[in-house]
Structure 1
């Protein structure tokens, strides 16, 4: 049986846990990063070759945090000699003019590059994307693609380079708070003690946190990731296609230009079907889910064939307001929780890692955490 004493134990080696562990190790702390599956794996929320990076959000705090995230990703590129970020631009679409105007206003207030366009202007500028007359768009010029699997690998590499220790294939069985300065972590392989435990559990958070007395409104969902073949006349253009985000009550979607597979665009609904992460293979998307996406793609993207060529799966963990949980346990201040990233967290991982590390270190985080607090949920759930 393994055992040991660490200053900090981070549970979950997805993008958020790896970023947190790296931030702690950079400060010279003795850190253990635990992962239940063999690395790399595709059971959580951090696998795959691409994720979107953007500043265009309706929430000004996300937009502001993204400034730091861009700098952090660029710094990680320099540290590892790995290309992680590819600039493509973003077309953020809504039939609600107030949404696009609000996002443009937020971007402009933070001196970030943006542009507000009508449907005709978008259709002329981006022939592969079609907007209806009642829609407008914000152009986020610095948006693009993060090479997700490379980003995760780079964070783990830098964590180890800074003295951190990773143990995969070691599921955590129990977290036992012993005092304000001691937490016991029981795993399939042994027992560890640390000053603080940081839990980045991904879709396992809703179940596991109940064992710590937290009944939070978190939902794990299985989402279908679809790739669509570009029509020859568009793929031959040789242009860098933009990412897109569509914000409406019925159609919340996103797309990424060809990157993971040659000539295949990633176009997906945001969200998915409630699913136990330990039993996810039994849950299939409803036919109406895919049929609705096919109808949407036919209308929105004249540049692709009308049926997906490849369908993969991924997991989200969602909160009702789609803001994260970045907080200390209400009763055990040396248990730190990062959860509910709602399909948004990957791009912000370096900032999230710094915030969670600051909480573990007892430092005041650099951003107000009210939007990410446990207290924003009803007390009856605790």
Structure 2
């Protein structure tokens, strides 16, 4: 499963790498709303939550569905500005219908696709449908949707004030700390793009991002996501890549019709493992799901064993054991060493121990 962005015919300079204060603020707000997604940031989330005044905390709760499970598209700008104020000014320039549609994507959840054909601001049936979808998500979403559909300018002003107050309360200090690293990462990837081309630049983002191109054929960016969707950057002027210090493990992609595709990617951190593809996670789970392979894994977790030893321990033939070992080896779950003329097989405890985290990261990606 993947998300595909068509970039056929786009020159490399249309792939833009740059930090975005608004996108980073939305990543921080997501961490505060869903700290369980970000165990490495528990300390920051706890300290920041404790320091926020009750009035601001209540306002954040009132609107947190704009960044909790998905992001309103205007929070991840296609053409980032030099400052948060510049980017908020750009959001202000969106017409009410575009702003409302982007907000309702987050407010109404996965059923939002039914809102695309008609404007809920202009069409009574679409408006009632949006209200029903929001009510199904919860009373706060329903109240927000009702206010947005009734008075879009008032809601837009309220959200801007909320974001500005967050900047004063905690974002400005955090942004000063992370901006140098984000800017350096963006420069590095832009340099890779100029010197080595899009394949290496995209590979440097994450193993979950790849460049697929055919000679005299289509070119695509493929993002390993637990979904099947596609969009095109050809008519949108390009693709924007925004580094984030607070976004791991998420790869946030804006791909709605009418928006410039944007990918917000976590900057690599020393000591943290690289993301594993969903296909490899599935392969490893299936390899361990077989009862015989699970028994063999239990034995090899306790020490290195030859094929003959494993066969004798579990009353299997050597060819049977070899076939099961081949499946585990192909999934990257075995390490093998030689002692004289014997091959010793051991379960890779590091890889196996990360399987749960890899699965969670792939699901959250």
The question of a shared fold, defined as TM-score above 0.5 by the shorter chain, is answered with: no
**Structure richer in strand, relative to its length:** 1
- When Rg is computed on C-alpha atoms for both structures, the one with the higher figure is 2
